[in-house]
Structure 1
């Protein structure tokens, strides 16, 4: 039968299982990384050898090792098997969690957190998800994983203070280690084995595309943006738990601030996403969200000694943060070359993790040298610098990625097919990779003539 994306076919049982269980693996891992964010600055005060700078480093160090190893893990999974590299990464993550749980010094926690980040399975998991799904359903699977990551962050910010009150930070580390081992079991027994593993240009980095992606000034603006966004997040939460405590709110009640702020922010971003995507006002919404962070960080600089005022500011902060976290990947997808989306997302993810590392390290050092005001002054300037850089961003084209299985072709036939596809109404860009048997398209969904595209799809068994 024809490729299901063009005939309205549904996802198979194996595709649905892959989406559900791999999203679960991502979720458990992200929970483990983020649950300590709202509680660690307070816990670190009781560790041997602690300084504010080292506490910040312990929070952010996972980002350095994650950025260092995530792309190599993806490449190695091409050669040694997806599941094998995922098992290895999750085992390293579990070992790091145990090391942090057992540590009685700040350096022990730093080592554990570095190991947690070193279990960088993100690229390998995405590649496995691509192996297990047909081209026409892959965007849905990746979107499912992306939504899960966002929910995991929100849950971790709420559960961190709650679990800290029940089992303490060492208990949270033990729990995250257990979750990593459970994830290994999930991948082994619940995720189907791929029939064939190959490179997927839409889902994983390709070495030959790095120069092209790194030379694209529009993509560099977005990479700078995600770097600053996670720098702001990590640096802010080097200081916020201490500010809430100093304002009179016990640490086991911090969830009372985070819960309403996160829940409201997740609802509040919906109309802005509709305005940005459906009504094609993405750049104004994007710039408005960055400006919101500038004003929020400045508010924290001046009003961080009152719990109610901080609660309102955090609500606004999370609204801006969640909106930007949702729109940045959309902008990457719109601006990346159609056959280099996976590479663009790989560089983007590395920039995100490096931002977390920089935010933790610099935020901790600034807290030790200049106090909480020094941290919030730094984050205010960082958000302002991002606003200046983003202001010169081009208005994005409102295009979507579209994959078409075209079957086996030689290079000449692939070239001619790309020219033909580019003439289909609604197709803005078309690249056909003969070795992949896939056409990578950028399309305008509002004007796309799918009926014509249907004629170019290969006959595939599903």
Structure 2
């Protein structure tokens, strides 16, 4: 046996470097994906053959190709190598950006956006992070990547309009191309190369377990949630920039004047509710309430007058709700998913997210073209209400966190015995030890968990 002797050891310099550099790659890619969101509907309507429905496809085409290819990319990386697949995905993303930059029609933009999404490297980046970090530090690495996603979205809302005012739509796609190439440079100059790459149940999809995950009603409820959230987000941005331009008389380059303070207030406002949800064990109440907040804000856009302060207030409600839900949904998946199937559950969840983005853009564009802007917001409000109803019947999640411990060198009997002993430790709610993985998967109650007791057990095993 060669278990981790102590779970409180700090991250090594290599682990810190790997975590930060992979987070940077993820951020550069997502920044490139989101930069276009707050401005595309304004610029694309001016292109030849453009229609509201085609603009909706241009905004959301990436979601369909990403949903189709993100699980295969992860599986291919097990066979052909992590860095090779990440580089391929980033090259596809860059090629899509170049195609869009060189296009003078809406069809070229749609093709470019679809090709961007074909570079579906999110799962591969997570797998490489798992290769480069020890089990006990993997959650920290994943958290850094999660933070990079949130930062890229917030930055895109602010700098996307500014950059578009300087360089136009084509110039914005050239900037996105440069971001993709910069990510490749970071991949090969900063990201360490793992000595061994292997399958990680907490970070990768296991095809044989998809049926089990898809049969879990609570996980499906969360998959529906992320589908609805990104449907609403994308459909909203089919028409929201038009309201800022036409109703508020705010030129596109100045849209950041409203996005920046709204995002600052929204992020500050959500923090106390995140604490209430996690620390005070009020997750369901907070979660369901903020679904209602998103639905109410979209209904307000449909029914209320579009003057500055009403739009500002509705955007504040929308982004407060969106940011909290975007942050808590992955946490809920982690709390609910079977211990050894977290990676598979997250793969299905991500697929639902990108499908939602595609349906939102395509559906929002179609509704806008046939019925008008208010009906798009009513559609979003109806989707939010549907999600609200489904979420009301969800089980209140337990206040548990995931913990992984390296226990390599065990045979099956020893792994079974260790599982039982781990369950006797204070604060350990679930424990699965898999000898073939050399990993103990735990769900713990942080308020009751005794780290010293676990360290003592690990040292006893190693003796």
Scaled by the length of structure 2, what TM-score is found?
A: 0.97
Alignment of 1:253-332 (within 5 A): 253-303=254-304, 305-332=306-333
Alignment of 1:200-219 (within 5 A): 200-219=200-219
Alignment of 1:106-121 (within 5 A): 106-121=106-121
Match of 2:100 in 1: 100
Match of 2:176 in 1: 176
User: What's the secondary structure of 1:26's corresponding residue?
Assistant: helix
User: What's the secondary structure of 2:430's corresponding residue?
Assistant: strand
Q: Structure 1 residue 458: deviation in Å? A: 7.6
Please list the CA deviations of residues 6-52 of structure 1 after superposition, one character each: whole Å capped at 9, or x if unmatched.
2x211111100011110000001101111111100111112111110
Q: Structure 1 residue 4: deviation in Å? A: 6.8
Q: In 2, Cα distance between the equivalents of 1:450 and 1:267?
A: 32
Match of 1:335 in 2: 336
Alignment of 1:122-141 (within 5 A): 122-141=122-141
| 8 Å CA contact retained: 1:398, 1:444 | yes
| 8 Å CA contact retained: 1:246, 1:305 | no
Q: Structure 1 residue 413: deviation in Å? A: 2.3
Do residues 47 (structure 1) and 47 (structure 2) align? yes
Residue-pair matches, total: 460
Unaligned stretches of 5+ in structure 2?
none
Match of 2:165 in 1: 165
CA distance change for structure 1 residues 166 and 5 in 2, over 3 Å: closer, same or farther?
Answer: farther
CA distance change for structure 1 residues 387 and 196 in 2, over 3 Å: closer, same or farther?
Answer: same
Q: In 1, Cα distance between the equivalents of 2:446 and 2:173?
A: 45
| 8 Å CA contact retained: 2:5, 2:455 | no
Match of 1:376 in 2: 377
| 8 Å CA contact retained: 1:249, 1:307 | no
CA distance change for structure 1 residues 191 and 460 in 2, over 3 Å: closer, same or farther?
Answer: farther
Give the aligned CA root-mean-square deviation in angstroms: 1.5
Q: Structure 1 residue 450: deviation in Å? A: 2.0
User: What's the secondary structure of 2:373's corresponding residue?
Assistant: helix
Q: Structure 1 residue 161: deviation in Å? A: 0.5
| 8 Å CA contact retained: 1:227, 1:353 | yes
| 8 Å CA contact retained: 1:430, 1:441 | yes
Q: In 1, Cα distance between the equivalents of 2:305 and 2:239?
A: 10
Q: Structure 1 residue 452: deviation in Å? A: 2.5
Match of 1:391 in 2: 392
Match of 2:361 in 1: 360
Scaled by the length of structure 1, what TM-score is found?
A: 0.97
Q: Structure 1 residue 456: deviation in Å? A: 4.2
Please list the CA deviations of residues 297-328 of structure 1 after superposition, one character each: whole Å capped at 9, or x if unmatched.
11010125323211111011100000101111
| 8 Å CA contact retained: 1:26, 1:145 | yes
Match of 2:72 in 1: 72
CA distance change for structure 1 residues 204 and 401 in 2, over 3 Å: closer, same or farther?
Answer: same
Q: Structure 1 residue 148: deviation in Å? A: 1.0
CA distance change for structure 1 residues 165 and 4 in 2, over 3 Å: closer, same or farther?
Answer: farther
Q: In 2, Cα distance between the equivalents of 1:103 and 1:5?
A: 56
Q: In 2, Cα distance between the equivalents of 1:234 and 1:458?
A: 51
Q: In 1, Cα distance between the equivalents of 2:420 and 2:215?
A: 25
Q: Structure 1 residue 447: deviation in Å? A: 1.1
Q: In 2, Cα distance between the equivalents of 1:275 and 1:28?
A: 32
| 8 Å CA contact retained: 1:236, 1:375 | yes
| 8 Å CA contact retained: 2:6, 2:455 | no
User: What's the secondary structure of 2:436's corresponding residue?
Assistant: coil
Q: In 1, Cα distance between the equivalents of 2:95 and 2:230?
A: 25
CA distance change for structure 1 residues 362 and 459 in 2, over 3 Å: closer, same or farther?
Answer: farther
Q: In 1, Cα distance between the equivalents of 2:460 and 2:209?
A: 29
Please list the CA deviations of residues 409-441 of structure 1 after superposition, one character each: whole Å capped at 9, or x if unmatched.
222322222122222221111111111100111
Match of 1:241 in 2: 241
Please list the CA deviations of residues 365-394 of structure 1 after superposition, one character each: whole Å capped at 9, or x if unmatched.
000000101101100100000000000000
User: What's the secondary structure of 1:396's corresponding residue?
Assistant: coil
CA distance change for structure 1 residues 458 and 36 in 2, over 3 Å: closer, same or farther?
Answer: farther
User: What's the secondary structure of 1:403's corresponding residue?
Assistant: strand
Q: In 1, Cα distance between the equivalents of 2:262 and 2:164?
A: 19
Q: In 1, Cα distance between the equivalents of 2:70 and 2:131?
A: 18
| 8 Å CA contact retained: 1:225, 1:386 | yes
User: What's the secondary structure of 1:301's corresponding residue?
Assistant: helix
Q: Structure 1 residue 356: deviation in Å? A: 0.4
Match of 2:420 in 1: 419
4+ aligned runs moved over 3 Å, structure 1: 455-461
Q: Structure 1 residue 139: deviation in Å? A: 0.4
Q: Which moved more, 1:118-127 or 1:205-214?
A: 205-214
Please list the CA deviations of residues 190-246 of structure 1 after superposition, one character each: whole Å capped at 9, or x if unmatched.
000001101111111111221111111001000000000000100000010111111
